[in-house]
Amino acid sequence: MSPEPAALRGRDPELELLGERLRNTRDYLGMSQQHVSDMTGIPRSAVSDIERGARRVDSLELKKLARLYMRPVSYFLAKEEEADLGEHALAGLPRALVGLSDGDWEEVLSFAEFLKFRRASEKEREPGE
Amino acid sequence: MSPEPAALRGRDPELELLGERLRNTRDYLGMSQQHVSDMTGIPRSAVSDIERGARRVDSLELKKLARLYMRPVSYFLAKEEEADLGEHALAGLPRALVGLSDGDWEEVLSFAEFLKFRRASEKEREPGE
DNA sequence: CGACATGGGTCGGGATTTCCGACCTGCGTG
DNA sequence: CACGCAGGTCGGAAATCCCGACCCATGTCG
């Protein structure tokens, strides 16, 4: 019955900041927690906890995440200041996709969804062309 | 009751490499584990375990260590060879962009180009927002 | 509108890991 | 030899983590 067992989940500004950055980046890339989980092996609920600053992030986990998010590890550990999403952006992307405004990026994603949808429905409708 | 508690010492090469690097750096700087412990708050026995790859290193702990050792965090996490961006870069793409057929991919790129072009010309035409 | 699907937060509780506090060996050194 | 320091190791106890739901909010579709 200890009101404060000790390092209760949450309440660590550093961890929260880290989680926040991880979430922002994931959102920016349009990935779901599930996808991140699949790609990294980190349990989905853990991804959720991490982003809420309720769970620590192991070094190697952070490394995997950084890789998946295409950012240097330091990006997530940096000191407040140098934490701008737009900057470090996507190094290995086709030129056509870099430098898009957030709004345009959204449009591109929607368009891509549309294309995939169209392809899927075509296939569904007429299996054997 | 567990055939494989998986809690065995030093089973993860990655962790061992990380620990090795940490130890080498500490040795190089002539610090004792005790000193590192005092400076970082990481229990001394934990420092020992870490260096032997028997314990994970939390992200924030690594940050503190890197700071104490005056090295960038990436120094300890860097992969032997920093290359192969191609494949892994794509692994981090938003799901909307994954799994597109070549043709659709072309369309997406074209669309992106179009958006950038449009935005550019709009701006040119109407400088002041 | 209701049936579903997806995304994300939260929780109980057993499984793991970490921490604490020794204890032990190895090494100089006085 | 006694001493002190460094680092490795261990027995639990305590803190965390993970699994597997369960919930709620948002769409989407028929």
Distance of CA A21 to the CA centre of its chain: 9
Q: Rounded to two decimals, what is the model's pTM?
A: 0.72
CB B112 within 8 A of CB A98: no
Digit-by-digit pLDDT tens for chain A (129 residues) are 434 444 445 589 999 999 999 999 999 888 999 999 999 999 999 999 999 999 999 999 999 999 999 888 999 998 765 544 443 334 344 555 555 555 556 566 666 666 555 554 444 434 433
Contacts of A50 (CB under 8 A, 6+ apart): A18, A19, A22, A42, A56, A57
Does B9 lie at the interface with A, CB-CB under 8 angstroms? no
Q: Which helix (H) or strand (E) holds B76?
A: helix B73-77
- Token pair 């990026």 is found at A105
- Residue to mutate among A60, A79, A119, A123, with most B CBs inside 10 A, is A60
Task: Tell me the residue ranges of DSSP E strands in A70-113.
Answer: none
Q: In angstroms, rounded to a whole number, what is the distance separating the alpha carbons of residues B73 and B64?
A: 9
Does B77 lie at the interface with A, CB-CB under 8 angstroms? yes
